[in-house]
Structure 1
């Protein structure tokens, strides 16, 4: 009889975990959710959390994760960021695709270097000025073309320049580098492009180039899934960058095609009807 009671107690203790993952709809962050997600027994031991697309609108006890360095809360229904004010060691914060209009609570996250708030309700630059004390900020994203995420403030054409005034140490805005020409790699690629374009023109006409072969084989960039949360997050960020590169490549190809047509038409001799 005692054995049966022990088994019943064990099953009852495990029930919250079973129900938590069976439902997959977490409206509030609880210690059960945090411990089961991170695999840690103490909230203060958690360094990395990914709570993406879970339907969360209440951050609950997430502020008790004092050692947290990376936090992904994208794709939820969050409006109030107050519990994040105690995360003084937080380096990377992803709040994309929520319903956030007030960022003031995270002004206490002194160590924050990267912030993604694309796809929220930030209406003006004044909503961002409360973060100007975050001197470590290097990357901020208000718009993400890959997922068609934006904010009302992005309608202001000068918002990028104002962000650079607010955060003088910024290196990237909306995923694009803002230091100098962008980077040494950017300048190198630009020089190569200019050289290729110069070589394509002969007597004012564009010369046909031999068909180029892919640099790598199909599937070279595909990454196998992993159960490790940090590796999985790195894979997601890498795939997001690849998606942005493909989008930029598509736009560049369109611009090149239009330019080639313009050059071809201007190189044709003019004909006059007598």
Structure 2
């Protein structure tokens, strides 16, 4: 009986995110040093201590058996989250992820729009995926009448829904409004036969600088990726040089390369 109990505890521990698991997956000894974390398809059902990764910016939990997202509420700088193919029924805890920009929650148990209310206050949210046709992943609410229009109304700041751009800078509507605004500014205000004069003083319909491109936000995710790539490239160069030296020494030892000075003419 004791042996069975121990095995059950070990099995439960294996389905829970622990500090040991995070350190083994990332090579980091300090959980707050983890910036990117991939825990895809491990059969996880409990997020455990993932909330202690205070500086985590990119998290992939897809293909597990997660039902509750509570620990994610403390991840204030999390920018990219993939929880597709899990058993999540509400996104309420994500209200604490104030830096969230991209969310993939396709293939879960979200059955009503009220379960998405936790996303309403996320000012940086730009992309939401609840349905993934390529992977045949969806949520019950995706079959609701007027699903896309309701999503657009709930999240007016979101630019991409289920992989399709719906609004924001770069969209067709945005470019059309930009062209219209430019045309209005060029409209002649006075003089000339057949030219309509504007009555009163015209005011811009958007704030100055609205059409200007916003500076790209620096992301420590990209910085970390570049750093890791540079280190890997440098290591490859060192290994290549070491291999060349070893081959040269071996050839000399085996006398494969003839020494021209040994020839007698």
CA distance in 2, matches of 1:104, 1:137: 15
| Count of residue correspondences | 166
CA distance in 2, matches of 1:147, 1:41: 35
CA distance in 1, matches of 2:149, 2:169: 15
**In the alignment, which of 169, 172, 181 is matched to residue 160 of structure 2?**
172
Which structure has the bigger radius of gyration? 2
Could you tell me whether the CA contact under 8 Å between 1:135 and 1:167 is conserved in 2? no
SS in 1 for 2:59: strand
1:35 alignment counterpart: 23
SS in 2 for 1:140: strand
**In the alignment, which of 52, 63, 68 is matched to residue 75 of structure 1?**
63
User: What's the Cα RMSD here?
Assistant: 2.4
Q: Which structure 2 residue ranges, 5 or more long, are not aligned? A: 1-9, 176-223, 227-265
> Normalized against structure 1, the TM-score is what?
0.57
SS in 2 for 1:130: helix
User: What is the CA-CA distance between 1:26 and the residue it aligns to?
Assistant: 3.7
CA distance in 2, matches of 1:181, 1:44: 34
CA distance in 2, matches of 1:83, 1:98: 16
CA distance in 2, matches of 1:180, 1:171: 5
SS in 1 for 2:134: coil
Q: Deviations over 1:70-120 (max 9, x none)?
A: 000000000011110100000000000000001111111000010110000
**In the alignment, which of 60, 63, 66 is matched to residue 54 of structure 2?**
66
Q: Which structure 1 residue ranges, 5 or more long, are not aligned? A: 1-19, 188-228, 232-274
> Normalized against structure 2, the TM-score is what?
0.59
Q: Deviations over 1:197-242 (max 9, x none)?
A: xxxxxxxxxxxxxxxxxxxxxxxxxxxxxxxx959xxxxxxxxxxx
User: What is the CA-CA distance between 1:179 and the residue it aligns to?
Assistant: 2.1
2:102 alignment counterpart: 114
User: What is the CA-CA distance between 1:168 and the residue it aligns to?
Assistant: 1.4
1:48 alignment counterpart: 36
* 1:161 aligned onto 2:149: yes
Could you tell me whether the CA contact under 8 Å between 2:89 and 2:111 is conserved in 1? yes
Superposition map of 1:182-201 within 5 A? 183=171
